[in-house]
Amino acid sequence: MVVIHKSLKINSDSKFQIVDITSVINKELASLNLSNGIVNVFSKHSTTGIVINENESGLLSDFKKSLEDVILSSNNYKHDRIDNNASSHLKAFLIGSSQSIPIIDNKLDLGTWQSVFFVELDGPRVNRTITLTFIGE
Ligand code: ZN
């Protein structure tokens, strides 16, 4: 069994942005001699998230709207007294900072309609860091 860490950097260019990182993860996986195992995709920030769902533009727009419906942009949040981005943190609480995906025959074993997304909730930012941890054989 081996454990391999890879780091990805992402620059975002808007407050809310969804970036499909499936092909980047597949490219990293293809460069490894790893047939079977699992990869954990982890974002090292408290105002971003990692989600898995369908890459359909209407659905991604619905996702953004639904997050905004649940988490108001301002609501007398206590954290806004510190750096005015409480709503970004609260959305990140809901969606989570990592996902794990099975690897079978050196491929991500995603469903037909599944993609892996990095979600920026407090952009634009430079050098957002995602750690990929591949575990397997
Ligand atoms: Zn903050």
Which has the closest alpha carbon to 1: 38, 45, 30?
38
What percent of the chain stands above pLDDT 90?
Answer: 100
pLDDT tens, position by position, 8-28: 999 999 999 999 999 999 999
State both tokens at 6.
């890879």
pLDDT tens, position by position, 46-76: 999 999 999 999 999 999 999 999 999 999 9
Across residues 119-127, what is the average pLDDT?
98
Across residues 27-53, what is the average pLDDT?
98
Q: For residues 16 and 121, is the Cβ–Cβ distance under 8 A? A: yes
CA 134 – CA 137 distance, rounded (Å)? 10
What is the amino acid identity at position 14? S
Question: 131 CA distance to ligand 1 centroid (A)?
Answer: 21
Question: 6 CA distance to ligand 1 centroid (A)?
Answer: 26
φ, ψ at 23 (rounded to 5°):
-70, -30
Question: 119 CA distance to ligand 1 centroid (A)?
Answer: 16
Across residues 73-91, what is the average pLDDT?
97
121 pLDDT tier (thresholds 50, 70, 90): very high
Which has the closest alpha carbon to 99: 120, 125, 117?
117
List CB-based neighbours of ion ligand 1 within 5 Å: 83, 85
> pTM, whole model, 2 decimals?
0.97
pLDDT for 116 equals 98
Question: 88 CA distance to ligand 1 centroid (A)?
Answer: 8
